[in-house]
Structure 1
């Protein structure tokens, strides 16, 4: 591929852009700033909430629309309202959550930038502190009574528990997009919503062809992003299936894999 044709770079956050301690390395920031100076647009595509994704985008001086909630929400960091939003059907979401609650799982329901949980756990407190979001406690068995349309539902458990959840939700794949975002988590959004389709919407907004996109990812919710981009890049720490579809497998997030590819394939071809 002619790397000089790349017009847009889309980067996942956790396990990709950030290291394992969720830190953004100064070298990565420097390289991304240089890429933007060369006229290439950079944006983020994350399973995080918009407010959490926007915090990272501001550090990188990103002005393009960013993708949050696994593709269910697109907005600019300067806007109060989304450019695109795909909430779930409330009745279907209630049924799904009721099943998960009855099965005894720890369920997280995202309504815009707020997290709703049954009870507070250490994971709740740590997660909300790290991501700068608010949580609301509704009590055990009450999540399915929410009266607002969720953007995303997440189940957190052991790897064995997640295997069971994935099988339990098999009949629901006609109504939702269900993927394993980590070995300890399942991420659920509206059917046909994913980072790949969201990337295509951003391309339309920016008047960029998807074959002019370089995209980075490492987990299950990045698969459609890697497949849909003109040039998909899997991190060295990515799961095996993702690497099969990537044009490039870079270094791990701990070894600044994003900066390495941007420097080697984009900046050196432009200078």
Structure 2
């Protein structure tokens, strides 16, 4: 239910965090320092949520470890899920014509591509990138040799996985090819993501913030790559980690330490919980947890 009265008087009342390479380093987990800072922010009344390219299942262990229990933005903004019901409250899908165009281009360029059906991924043939991806996120998958002959519905995104060094060449190519037709962005090294036009983390953040009763200037967000660009631009305070994409860093209001250096904790301690008037850290114990009202 929407919040009609915010229960804290801090400048930033909502914090939206990207997961991979912002909150969680590659191959690692949530650091104790980041987890403690997030808990402190929540105790102070800050609404904390995640905006990730991952699907619901792939992000579930992260939001459950943090104790987040309301909403999460998945598939780079294509879906907003209600954690309490395990069901979406907002969904966009990529039209089958675009799905097939992406799959055909990937095949012609000898690139691995897969689509999503719920939290299951589907791809045409075995590929080491696909195996590694599914193993890393513990995702169910299926191999369908007829993938390019079918009419697919409810596809939130298509993902191409390639060598990280090729992304700088391929990303602008795909952006130009699908201009004004499909959202194209990069997330983790080697990942190029395709969503419905207009479906991105920024638009999803705006929708969720409005639902919760927060204005744009009350929202802080952190990310690292072009998948986070619209989110960083939209938020009242857009933060990017020091080792993030240079193009995204240029759009940031603030640069925070790298993911491996607990940049999220730095953001919370220095911008979210700090009193604007005197620069003193707020006492989180004095605030109510706004999430209890949702």
TM-score class, shorter: over 0.9
SS of 1:116's equivalent in the other structure is strand
Instruction: State which of 65, 71, 76 in structure 1 corresponds to 2:77.
Output: 71
8 Å CA contact 1:42–1:64 kept in 2: the answer is no
Corresponding residue to 2:159 among 154, 165, 169: 154
- Please list, as runs of the form range in 1=range in 2, the aligned pairs for 1:180-195 lying within 5 A after superposition: 180-195=186-201
Residue 222 of structure 2 is aligned to residue 225 of structure 1: no
Aligned to 1:145: 150
- Name the SS of the counterpart of 1:15 in structure 2: coil
Q: Is the 1:118–1:138 contact (alpha carbons within 8 Å) kept by the matching residues of 2? A: yes
Distance of 1:241 and 1:166 partners within structure 2: 12
After superposing on structure 2, the runs of 4+ consecutive aligned residues of structure 1 that deviate more than 6 Å are: none
| Counterparts of 2:174 and 2:16, CA distance in 1 | 32
Which deviates more, 181-190 or 217-226? 181-190
Whether 1:109 aligns to 2:115 is yes
Structure number having the greater helix percentage: 1
Gaps of 5+ in 2: 1-8, 276-281, 284-294
What is aligned with 2:3? none
Instruction: Give the drift of 1:110.
Output: 1.4
Instruction: Tell me whether 216-225 or 73-82 shows the greater mean CA deviation.
Output: 73-82
1:145-183 deviations in whole A, cap 9, x for unaligned? 253331111111224643246415623222110112245
SS of match in other structure, 1:237? coil
What is the CA distance between 1:247 and its match in structure 2?
1.2
Q: Could you tell me how far 1:144 is from its partner in structure 2?
A: 5.1
Q: 1:254 aligns with which of 243, 249, 260?
A: 260
What 5-or-longer segments of structure 1 have no aligned partner? none
| Bigger Cα displacement from structure 2, 94-103 vs 39-48 | 94-103
Distance change >3 Å, CA 5–CA 101, structure 1 → 2:
same
Residue 30 of structure 1 pairs with residue 59 of structure 2 = no
1:13-38 CA deviation, whole Å, 9 max, x = no partner? 00000123231112211110110011
Higher relative contact order (CA 8 A, sep 6+): 2
Alignment length, in residue pairs?
Answer: 268
- Tell me how far apart the structure 2 counterparts of residues 98 and 65 of structure 1 sit (CA, whole Å): 35
How far the C-alpha of 1:232 sits from its partner, in A, is 0.4
How far apart, CA to CA, are the structure 2 residues paired with 1:89 and 1:79?
A: 27
CA contact (8 A) 1:14 1:22 kept: no
Give the alignment partner of residue 126 of structure 2, picking from 91, 98, 120: 120
Q: In 1, distance between residues paired with 2:27 and 2:110?
A: 30
3-state secondary structure, aligned to 1:149: coil
* 1:190 CA displacement: 0.2
Q: What is the alpha-carbon distance in structure 2 between the residues aligned to residue 188 and residue 14 of structure 1?
A: 17
CA contact (8 A) 2:115 2:122 kept: yes
Match in the other structure for 1:266:
272
CA RMSD of aligned residues (A): 1.9
What is the rounded CA distance, in whole Å, between the counterparts of 1:19 and 1:168 in structure 2?
Answer: 27
| C-alpha separation in 2, matches of 1:123 and 1:25 | 27
Instruction: Give the distance between the partners of 1:238 and 1:187, measured in 2 at CA.
Output: 17
